[in-house]
Amino acid sequence: MTFDFKPAIRIKRSAVQDVMKQNRALQIGEHVIVTASGVARLGKRELKPLTTQD
Amino acid sequence: MEANATLGAPRRFAKRRPIISEEIDATAQGYRAQVNHSIFVGGAKTPGYDYYRAAMTTAIKLFYDCVASIVPGKTTCGELVDYYAAQVEKNPTLKTVRRRTSLERDCQSFTAALGAVQFPWRIGHHHCAGHDF
């Protein structure tokens, strides 16, 4: 079987503060395949923070 | 800004809201796959980047931890939800999981849609594709 797994989390303001009044929820989601031998994500890109500028 | 909050309608980027949470979805012959990746508009010196980087790093680790916990044919959908909730709750920097997480809600709506298949169904290789957690 395959399914999408996409956790969304929000960090406490006592740990790190966002620029908004409330810390926002961020999400990472990928398509996952389950076979008889194991579980893997189908995507190939590196999962890391992405910015539009260096 | 979350992709599914606008129903696909274009929106302006607010200067103080430089995080885009997109949702890309494709379907072929009834099989669907989706990717989500919050993107920061700006660079490492843009205000808000530190929060973005910390949250994304945590979310990515959570993703890999939860996927690695699945044992094909043994782990149930409910066990995956419980594992996810436990990982969030034991992390002191994360807000406590609501009683009904989006993961749990999606999981329950999926089982409700299937009708006869009840909640703890097992995550195995013999099921069809396209479920969303």
Whether the pLDDT of residue A13 is over 50: the answer is yes
To the nearest 10°, report the CA torsion of B98, B103, B109, B110: -160
Domain regions of chain B by residue span = 3-114
Q: Which of B65-69, B86-90, B95-99 has the lowest mean pLDDT?
A: B95-99
Which residues in chain A touch residue B44, judged by CB atoms under 8 angstroms apart?
Answer: 51, 54
CB contact under 8 A, B59 and A26: yes
**Single pTM value for the model:** 0.79
ipTM of the shown complex = 0.95
Q: Is A31 on the interface with B (CB under 8 A)?
A: yes
The closest alpha carbon to B41, from B2, B15, B11, B23, belongs to B15
**What does the pLDDT read at residue B103?**
55
Q: How confident is the model at residue B79 (pLDDT cuts 50, 70, 90)?
A: confident
Cα angle for residues B66, A45, B59 (degrees, 5° grid): 35
Which residues in chain A touch residue B32, judged by CB atoms under 8 angstroms apart?
Answer: 4
Shortest CA gap B116–chain A (Å): 18
Note whether A13 and B98 are within 8 A (CB). Answer: no
- Once rounded to an integer, what is the mean pLDDT over residues B89-98? 77
The closest alpha carbon to B58, from B50, B68, B46, belongs to B50
